[in-house]
Amino acid sequence: MGVAVKLDGVERNYGQVKALSPTFQTLEPGTFTALVGPSGCGKSTLLDILAGLNTGYQGRVLVDGKEHKGPRRETGVIFQEAAVLPWRTVLDNAAFALETQKVPVGERREIAENVLRRVGLSDFAGHYPHQLSGGMRQRVAIARVLSTNPDLILADEPFGALDEQTRVVLGLELLRVVRQTNATVLFVTHSIQEAVLLSDRVLVMSARPGKILLDLPVDLPADRDPAMVGSPVATGLIEKIWAQLRSEAERALVEQGAKR
Ligand SMILES: Nc1ncnc2c1ncn2[C@@H]1O[C@H](COP(=O)(O)OP(=O)(O)O)[C@@H](O)[C@H]1O
Ligand SMILES: [Mg+2]
């Protein structure tokens, strides 16, 4: 079951640079939330704080009501560069996290085979990463994360390096597999369409220091398909998000000009 995550006044400065304004936000258990915002606005900072990889922040992160700081075993993280080990086969990559958790070899194999099936890679279990496409490597990274049965999945522009079609296919696949596990998901993307197509809510951040300006529920059927981005609900949301981001970009340009 997914966890509830609450950001209670979470704020991050890097010296004089204010990266993230005090943020108050809840992620409901089992929901898929997308986070969009201008480049450099603090999206990765926010995600890394939740992942326990960035600890120099103010405020509190609550997981199921209890303050948590630092990495958690039950949190899975997916980055843009597929985290795969080139000298290991697909199966051994999928089993890697279980190995570090000292899960017995037989059980490890069974779980790894199962997650590879779920991401459509069963036929490639014996392949090495260099024999795969970028999209397939990212599937391996997703399989590895799923293998530990996370209750919180944090993804930072996971499909940013992939072509448009692969991106849509993988996004919908990720959505399908995480729905089965009921994990809570925070998904950072620079694609507004992807955000709307995949999520239950879209959070829109301001230019740095990042602040959540909009929190929009996505009222599309649970069973998503690529054509839904053209639906009236989706296009309405996309327009609204664009309008907000456009005014953010303009504000950032004006501020930069004023500093010169
Ligand atoms: N370790 C760091 N040290 C100093 N500044 C940083 C560090 N990490 C990020 N920043 C700055 O914080 C701001 C937000 O960065 P980031 O969270 O990576 O943005 P995003 O993911 O939205 O593009 C940027 O201005 C960036 O330069
Ligand atoms: Mg980033």
Model confidence pLDDT, tens digit, residues 92-113: 999 999 998 999 999 999 999 9
Name residue 188's beta-bridge partners: 35, 156
Average pLDDT over residues 31-55: 95
Which amino acid, one-letter code, is at 115? V
pLDDT band at residue 138 under the 50/70/90 scheme: very high
Q: In this prediction, what percent of the chain has a pLDDT beyond 90?
A: 86
State pTM to two decimals.
0.94
Indicate which atom in ligand 1 lies nearest the CA of residue 157: 21
Average pLDDT, the chain: 94
pLDDT band at residue 1 under the 50/70/90 scheme: confident
CB atoms inside a 10 Å sphere around CB 238: 18
Indicate which atom in ligand 1 lies nearest the CA of residue 20: 14
pLDDT band at residue 254 under the 50/70/90 scheme: confident
Q: In this prediction, what percent of the chain has a pLDDT beyond 70?
A: 99
* Residue (of 111, 118, 84) closest to 95 by Cα position: 111
Q: Is 120 helix (H, G, I), strand (E, B) or coil?
A: coil
Which residue's CA is the closest to the ligand 1 atom numbered 3? 14
What is the predicted pLDDT for the residue at 259? Answer: 67
What is the predicted pLDDT for the residue at 256? Answer: 73
Q: Which of 17-26, 131-140, 250-259 has the lowest mean pLDDT?
A: 250-259
pLDDT band at residue 253 under the 50/70/90 scheme: confident
pLDDT band at residue 260 under the 50/70/90 scheme: low
d(CA 205, CA 101): 36
Which residue's CA is the closest to the ligand 1 atom numbered 6? 14
Average pLDDT over residues 131-154: 94
What is the predicted pLDDT for the residue at 82? Answer: 77
Please indicate whether residue 41, judged by its CB atom, sits closer than 6 Å to ligand 1.
yes
What is the predicted pLDDT for the residue at 189? Answer: 95
What is the predicted pLDDT for the residue at 98? Answer: 92
Average pLDDT over residues 144-158: 95
Q: For residue 109, how far is its CA from the centre of ligand 2 (angstroms)? A: 34
Q: Is 260 helix (H, G, I), strand (E, B) or coil?
A: coil
Please indicate whether residue 201, judged by its CB atom, sits closer than 6 Å to ligand 1.
no
Please indicate whether residue 56, judged by its CB atom, sits closer than 6 Å to ligand 1.
no
Q: For residue 14, how far is its CA from the centre of ligand 1 (angstroms)? A: 8
**What pLDDT, in 10s, does the model give residues 182-197?**
999 999 999 999 999 9
- Contacts with 149 (C-beta within 8 Å, 6 or more apart), sequence order: 74, 181
Taking 80 as the threshold, does the pLDDT of residue 19 lie above it? yes
Question: Rounded to whole angstroms, what are the CA distances from 102 to 77, 96, 174?
Answer: 19, 10, 26
